[in-house]
Amino acid sequence: MKAPDFRLLIFMSVLLLPGLSIPAETVPTEVQLPGTQPQQVGNMESPGKCQNCHAGYNDQTTAGAGQGEPQDEPWTGWSGAGMANAGRDPIFWATLAIAEQDFDGAGDLCIRCHSTAGWYGGRSTPTDGSGLLASDSDGVDCDACHLMTNVDNSEHTGEMVSPFFANCSNDPNVPDKQCGSDTEGFYGSGMLSLWSGDEKLGPYEQTAARHKFMQSAFHRSVDFCGSCHDVSNSVVGDLAPGNGAQPGAPHVLSSQDYNGGEPDLGGPVEEKAAFNNPPYAYGIVERTFSEYKSSALPTTLVSQFNTLPPELKLSGGSLEVTYRAALEAGTGGNYQDGSPRYFSCQSCHMRPTTSAGADKADVLIRQDLPAHDHVGGNYWLADMIKYQDANGLLRLGGGLTSTQLTALELGQQRAIAHLQQSASLQIEGDVLKVINLTGHKLITGYPEGRRMWLNIKWYDNQEQLVREDGAYGPLVDSADQPVMIENPAGGPDVQVESIMDLHDPNTRIYEAHYAITSEWAATLLATGKPADFALSYDRYTGEESMVLGDLASQGAGSFQESFHFALNNAVSFDNRIPPYGMAYDESKKRNVLPQPEDQYGAPGSGGVYQHWDQLDLRELKPDGAVSARINLLYQGTSWEYIQFLKEANEGTEPTEGGNEFLGDEGENMLNTWINAEVPAAMEVAGDHKMVPPVLMASINWGVTYLTIGGTVSGLAGSGLVLQNNQSDDYPVDSNGSFTFDTALTNGSDYLVEVSVQPSNPNQTCSVTNGNGTLSGHNISNVSVSCVYDAMIFKDGFEQQ
């Protein structure tokens, strides 16, 4: 392996100085991204001003009259959603703490999306968030969206200056961009191009707004949502071997190309990966937008719903619910103004509602008002925020009002419903199908801690439990001892809850694992990261299970799975279910291939992945099991991730690697995870704590047993014994019908033969229709015909 460049060692020794953690006052060039920059626009207003008109006018009276419910109001729906509370999100702060420890300045990447007002207001430095104001807690606020223009400058032109153009335009300062076309925009990582005028931008041509407004086609484009929902790590994208991309992906132009093959930490932004490539090309963190763009849904009109495969048209499924909502506009699924509506991000996550958009008397009641709830699958955020608010632990945005609390509860209800619309279980014969009903992978988004799995309870014919696959509950270690942890809130130690056996071959867990490669570990080690830097922890004991020095000493191609998102440079595993029509070639370009890539039909170049997983229940079932209860479960964050956030946090002392502002966030997150109640989720061990899973779908399976039988004719002797499959004997003493005592499962082969011929008198019996494969029905046409031996000539012909 080539030795790291000396300039890189000097720069990284400063940023990764062992034993010292200081938040960056200046954002490193590896962390900077194109788009509108901090303090470049000064027209952003607080959400409280929007609340004056866009909330408080719908109630039970209007709902009963078909004119909208409170949650249909733009501000009310928004205020209960994850976007509005991104600055309060406890796991954001706990994760930010680790990112800042791992790479000083990386926090700017996080703050950019989790506090848009703070970032554009110039308060993202220091990069640990300590410069944010209380008013910066509202996450992705109203003006962040309603000032957005298309970064490709195809419509309205936002504020961007060279070299911060977030597109593939001809920029003499960045002349070598790697783009699909000259018009391609950089959609991802919060790279926004904001309008600097007084107007608010939205999709309608005519409104009764009291403020200035301007119609924007971009607000109905899927690229609008892609502006944040492809998240890339620009640090590893520029510095790490492989640029944080999947093997075989297109080349990433980075500082390594300008520096003799070695990364140039601290070099000019013009040479950085984030300025020379679309964000899907490097530094994989989240790829929800690219998963969707690789599917068939961006080109599928909602009005074409009935042309979809039958399993995607499931009543109550995500696509069907979206279709029904869109029909309310009276245009067959299109927008009320006749514009074509596709199965877009907005169509599913901002479903059309019937409501006014503001409280003024002359405001239209629209049949396609986008619900501003931005609903996803974060069913536990509301209870985490409420717990931290009540206990004085919220890092930002405490003192929630009753209106905000109600909105959070409504948002939680929508999240649960959305999860249950996302997947279905179907059984065809003895094959179980797990079907993705969404427009992205199932599951999607930030991968750390999120998981979906099959919980299968197998029962015998006495309805006694034979085995449970994917069991979840109070965790015990390999010695069958309870895994206990101190409760930060006080009181007795508690037993943590998790999936009991993460490596059970009978348990199907859908998730993505990220990793650090040995080559990248060697570079980090050479530049000042200590050899004992912990990469992972034992989930039973909390002890370090792999450190940087050990990984760096391993051979090329080795890796260690890790939750260090600011340092991970590889996807080691991804078996999440692809969306409908996910094309191999587009997926490869956008770094969203399954890992390994030969899953879900292994389509290869030119092909399309299956949008379902399948399991043969006959092969999976334990001996003695005749039925099963199958549950598809989803957990928003796991014990293993919460443990990492606690153990990896170095505390509040900077000289010991800690951070004064963020040093308690791992402990606070553990406190919240242990003690906050999530009533909307499953009850485990008598309560709803530790973010228990949500039931997404369920189905019952029973083994179909079929009988083998037929008729016997011509029998005069005794002792005839028939046999099925050379083991199941059936004595026959008379003519007529017979049925073997042992039934077989559907799909089994059968072979009926004569085991013992009858005697007194001696006879020879022959079998016709005696073999085949069971296919959903009993067999009753086996024919056994017996004749006297005396009636058989030596030549084998019967006497006439």
Q: Does the domain spanning 705-791 belong to CATH 2.60.40?
A: yes
Cα–Cα distance measured from residue 564 to residue 733, given in angstroms and rounded to the nearest whole number: 75
Contact 98, 648 (CB under 8 A): yes
Predicted local distance difference test score (pLDDT) of residue 63 = 73
pLDDT bin (cut points 50, 70, 90) of residue 437 is: very high
pLDDT bin (cut points 50, 70, 90) of residue 250 is: very high
For residue 691, what are the contacts with CB-CB under 8 A and spacing of at least 6? 380, 635, 636, 637, 638, 673, 676, 678, 681
For residue 377, what are the contacts with CB-CB under 8 A and spacing of at least 6? 415, 418, 419, 422, 443, 445, 634, 636
All structural domains of the chain with their residue ranges: 24-383, 705-791
Predicted local distance difference test score (pLDDT) of residue 795 = 53
Q: What is the pLDDT of residues 167-217, one digit of tens each?
A: 998 899 999 999 888 889 999 999 999 999 999 999 999 999 999 999 999
Cα–Cα distance measured from residue 562 to residue 220, given in angstroms and rounded to the nearest whole number: 37
Cα–Cα distance measured from residue 580 to residue 437, given in angstroms and rounded to the nearest whole number: 8
Contact 198, 43 (CB under 8 A): yes
Report pTM: 0.89
Cα–Cα distance measured from residue 576 to residue 104, given in angstroms and rounded to the nearest whole number: 32
Q: How far is CA 792 from the centre of its chain?
A: 73
Which of 586, 559, 588, 584 minimizes the C-alpha distance to 241?
559
Predicted local distance difference test score (pLDDT) of residue 461 = 84
Predicted local distance difference test score (pLDDT) of residue 5 = 44
Contact 577, 441 (CB under 8 A): yes
Q: Reduced to 3 DSSP states, what percent helix, strand and coil does the chain have, rounded to the nearest 5?
A: 25, 25, 50
Place of tokens 């770094």: 591
Amino acid at 728: D
Contact 233, 109 (CB under 8 A): yes
Q: What is the pLDDT of residues 622-647, one digit of tens each?
A: 999 999 999 999 999 999 999 999 99
Predicted local distance difference test score (pLDDT) of residue 21 = 60
Is residue 95 within a helix (H) or strand (E), and if so which, with residue range? Answer: helix 90-102
Exposure string of 538-554, with b = 16+ CB inside 10 Å and e = fewer, is ebeeeebebbbebbbeb
Contact 785, 765 (CB under 8 A): yes
Q: Is the dihedral of CA 354, 358, 362, 363 positive or negative?
A: negative
Please determine, for residue 7, whether its predicted confidence score (pLDDT) is greater than 50: no
Which of 119, 694, 142, 96 minimizes the C-alpha distance to 374?
142
Point out which residues pair with 779 in neighbouring strands: 708
Cα-based angle 353, 354, 360 (whole degrees, multiple of 5): 120
Predicted local distance difference test score (pLDDT) of residue 604 = 97
Q: How far is CA 231 from CA 148, 184, 281, 289, 798, in A?
A: 18, 17, 11, 9, 83
Cα-based angle 624, 625, 628 (whole degrees, multiple of 5): 175
Please determine, for residue 11, whether its predicted confidence score (pLDDT) is greater than 60: no
For residue 252, what are the contacts with CB-CB under 8 A and spacing of at least 6? 178, 237, 243, 245, 273, 277, 281, 282
Cα–Cα distance measured from residue 785 to residue 720, given in angstroms and rounded to the nearest whole number: 12
Cα–Cα distance measured from residue 750 to residue 740, given in angstroms and rounded to the nearest whole number: 11
Predicted local distance difference test score (pLDDT) of residue 2 = 39
What is the percent of the chain with per-residue pLDDT over 70, rounded to a whole number? 96
Mean pLDDT of 707-724: 97
Please determine, for residue 279, whether its predicted confidence score (pLDDT) is greater than 60: yes
* 555 SS3 class: coil
pLDDT bin (cut points 50, 70, 90) of residue 60 is: confident
Cα–Cα distance measured from residue 737 to residue 550, given in angstroms and rounded to the nearest whole number: 72
Q: What is the pLDDT of residues 335-363, one digit of tens each?
A: 999 999 999 999 999 999 999 999 999 99
pLDDT bin (cut points 50, 70, 90) of residue 792 is: low
Q: What is the pLDDT of residues 667-680, one digit of tens each?
A: 999 999 999 999 99
Mean pLDDT of 558-578: 98
Please determine, for residue 468, whether its predicted confidence score (pLDDT) is greater than 80: yes
Please determine, for residue 793, whether its predicted confidence score (pLDDT) is greater than 70: no
* 268 SS3 class: coil
What is the percent of the chain with per-residue pLDDT over 90, rounded to a whole number? 90
For residue 81, what are the contacts with CB-CB under 8 A and spacing of at least 6? 372, 373, 374, 375, 376, 411
Mean pLDDT of 386-410: 95
Half-sphere exposure of 293 (CA within 13 A, CB side): 24
Predicted local distance difference test score (pLDDT) of residue 67 = 86
Cα–Cα distance measured from residue 385 to residue 149, given in angstroms and rounded to the nearest whole number: 32
Mean pLDDT of 85-113: 97
* Count of all residues that appear for the chain in the document: 800
Place of tokens 């969306």: 579
pLDDT bin (cut points 50, 70, 90) of residue 218 is: very high
User: Which pairs from 384-390 meet CB under 8 Å and 24+ separation?
Assistant: 384/89, 384/90, 384/91, 384/672, 384/673, 384/676, 385/85, 385/88, 385/89, 385/90, 386/676, 387/672, 387/675, 387/676, 387/677, 388/88, 388/90, 388/668, 388/672
Q: How far is CA 716 from CA 730, 759, 760, 762, in A?
A: 17, 9, 8, 9
Mean pLDDT of 162-166: 98
Cα-based angle 364, 368, 369 (whole degrees, multiple of 5): 65
